[in-house]
Structure 1
Amino acid sequence: MKRLNMKDTFNEVIETIKRFQSGYSKRNLENIDAFMADLFIIGDSTYAVGTGTTEVFLGSEKVKELISGDWKYWGDVKLDYENAHISIKKETVWFSVEGSVNQSFEDSEERYNSYINFIKDKLHSTDISIKQKLTFINWVLALTFHQRKDEKREYRWPLRLSGILIRKNSKWKFSHINFSIPKPNYPDERFENDKSYIDSYNEQNNLLKEYKDETNSVIDGFLRSFEKDIKGTNNLSSLVRKYFTESDTPYFIDLDNKLYEGIEKIEQFLKENEGRNMSLEIDQYIVSSVEDVSWITATGKLNQHFSESEFMEMSLNEINNLFDSKLSSKDKIFAIQRNISYALKECTAGEVYTYPIRIFAVILNSKEGTKFNSIQISCPFSWIFEGKLDSI
C-alpha cells in the first residue's frame, strides 16, 4: 500500500469533501447509488445525523434515504471545503467544515394554513398552561405576521458538516456524517414547552439503543467519569487536561457552531458557558473504532435555571445589541418584536430550562491515555419559521 504523507492525505480528504459537495450541487437522483458507492462505506456501520431530533439514519441504506431526501427537498448546500478543519490518524480522518444551505420562504395560503393548524394543535394541548398557550400564539405571530418586499424570500442559513472518513482500498470514504445548524436565541425544543419534544427525544434514544449492538467498557467508563467530574469540579483547568489530548490539539464546537481550538480555549469556553449542566444518555450512545481512534454519537440534555428577571434581562441586552447591528431599521423592529415574544414564551414555562443536545466526539487512545480530541454539541433545529437567526 502506498504510504501517504500528511500533505497528500490532506489533499485527498479535501477532494473527497469536494465530491460530496458536487453530488449535493447536481442533485442527480439517478446517480445516487454511484454517489454512495464512491463516497461511503456500504454497510450497517455507516450512519448519519441530520438537523432534526429524530433524524438518525443508521446503515448506508438509511443514509441514502437522507441524501435522496436532501436532493429532492432541501435547499442549496455550499461547503467551504478548502478551509475544512481536518485531523488525521493513520487510516482515519475526522473533519468539520462550515457552509450554508439556502432555504426558501414563500407567502401562500397553504403556508398560512399550516401555521393556523400549528396554533390549533398547541391550543388543544393539555400539558401546558393557558398563559403558555397565549404566549406561544404571540411568538408564532411575531415570526410569521411581518411583511417583506417580495412574496418569495431566499435565506442562507449557516450550516456545519462534520464526520469520519476511513481509508478503504486507497480511497477515503465516509463512515459518519453529522449536519448541524446554530441554535436560535432559545433552542427550538425546550422540554417544558411541549411534551412532544420529550417524545421525540425518547424516540431518538430508542433508535440509538436498538442500533448499539456492542459495548465498549473503556469508552463507557471514560464517559461516565467525564460526566461525573464535569458536574463536580471547580478546577476546570485540571479537568480539561485530564479529559482532552494535549499532543494532538483538541477542539470543542459549541451550540452556536463556534470552534474553540486548544486546551486554553476549551477551558475558557467551559468557564463561560453551560458545560457543567450537561447530562449524557450513556446507555444509548453509538461507538465505532479503528485502531486507536474511536468516535461516538450520543444524546444528552442541558439543564439550566433562569428566573423571570434573568429572562427579561437577557432580552433587554439582546435588544440593545440590535441597535448597533447592520440590520435595516425595518429588520431591527422585527427582531425586537421577535425577541420580546421569545422571552415572554420562555418565562411562562417556569425557571427550569431543559433541552436536548446531540454529541459527536472523537476519542483517542494513546500514551496520554483515553482522551477526547474533539467534541461537538448541537441542538435539534426546526425549519418551520423564517427569521429565527439574525446572522442570516
Structure 2
Amino acid sequence: MFTTRPEIVGTFGVAASTHWLATQTAMGVLERGGNAFDAAVAAGFVLQVVEPHLNGPGGEVPILFWSERDRQVRSVCGQGPAPALADPAAMRAMGLEMMPGIGLMPATVPGAFGAWMAMLRDHGTWTVAQVLEPVIGYARNGFPLVPRISQAILAVQSLFRDEWHSSAETWLPDGKVPRPGSLHTLPVLADTYTRIVETAMGAADTRVGQIDAAMDCWYRGFVAQEIDTYCRTTPVRDTTGERHKGLIRYDDMATFAPTVEAPATMDFGRYTVAKCGIWSQGPVFLQQLGMLRHAGIDAHTPTSIEFVHKVAEAAKLAMADRLAWYGDPDFVPSQLSALLDPQYLAARAARIGTQAATAIDAGTLLNGMAPRLPDLGVADRTLATADVRFGIGEPTFASLPPVSEWAEREL
C-alpha cells in the first residue's frame, strides 16, 4: 500500500489531526472512557487554539461521521450563512463589485460551535464542561506556537498595530511578534468558554440540557450580543483600503442551526466515498472520481504521466462545474444529482484530451440547462484598486516570510 503518511494500526482506538496537541487530546478522551464523538469535539476545539492561522471560534466546520449505532454515514453542516445585510444590491450601492477579502464584511455566522455541539449532544457521552476543559486549559495556560503562526503574525503585524487593535492585543504580546515555540495564551477566549460552561451548568442539570444551553449562550446569549455590538460599532480596514463595519447581526446568529443530512456519495471500485453536500465543495471530489472511472484511470499506474494528466484534467472540469453550479440549496435549486449522473460524468470525461485544457469548461446538464458562470473579470477589476498587502482573503494574509527572515528581523 502506497502512502505518504505512516499507517496507524491498533486495537483500542486511533486519533489523527494536523496538530499533536489536538491528537493527544482526542486520545486522552478515548483513554478516559469517552467515545469517538467526544474525542472529535474536544480535538476540534483545541485545533481552534493551537492552529489559529487555519481556523478559529469564528469559523465553520463541515463534518462527516459514521454512526455505529445507526449504521450510517451522516453529514453535519457547520457552515454558517452570510448575514442578511450581505445583499448584492446593497454591495453595489456601496460601489463594491466584490465582497472585500479581509475585514469584517465577509464574515459569516460562526457555525463551528453549533455543529460540534450538535454532534456531541446527539452522539457523544461527555458534557460541555468535559469537552471544553482541554481547550480552556491551553488557552489559559499556554500552547507552543508553531513557526507558521509566527510567520503569519509577522506578515500582518502592521495591520494589527495600525488598524486591528484588538488583534494586536491578542497576537502581539508586549507589542512584539511572538517567537516560534514560545508559549502563548488566549485569556479572553478562555474566559469566554469558561463563562459558557458556567452558564450551561447553571441552566440545566442534564447533559443534553447543558449542551442546548451552551448553544443558546453562543447564538442567542452574550456571544451573539457581543458580535452584534462589535459589528455595529467598529469600522475595520479591508482590501478596499477603507474602513467598513461588519454585517452580522443578532438575528443572524439567533436563527442559525446546524443541519444533519445524508452525504453525497460515489461508488469507486470497492469503496463508497462520502462528501458533504453541494453547499460545500465536497462533491468536486466525487465528480472527479466519476469522470476518472469513465476515463480509464485504472489502466495507468499512479506514477505515470497519463495518470497525473487525467487526474489534473478531471479536477479542472469538476472545478469549472463548481464555479457554475454549486451554491446554497436554501437559495438556489440543487443540481447535485444531475452533476453526479453517470451519463453526465461520462460526457465530461470524454472532454479530457491529450493536451492540458487552458479554458474554464463548465458542463451543460443532460436536461439542457446551460452553465451560468460569474463575471470572472470582476476579480481583475477589483484587484486593480484593492489593498492586497495582507492578502485577498484566502489565505487572509500575504505570502508569508521564511523563518530565516523572521529571525533576521526579530532577533
Bigger strand fraction? 1
Q: TM-score range by the shorter chain?
A: under 0.3
Task: Report the TM-score, using the length of structure 2 for normalisation.
Answer: 0.23
Task: Please report the TM-score for the alignment, with normalisation by the length of structure 1.
Answer: 0.24
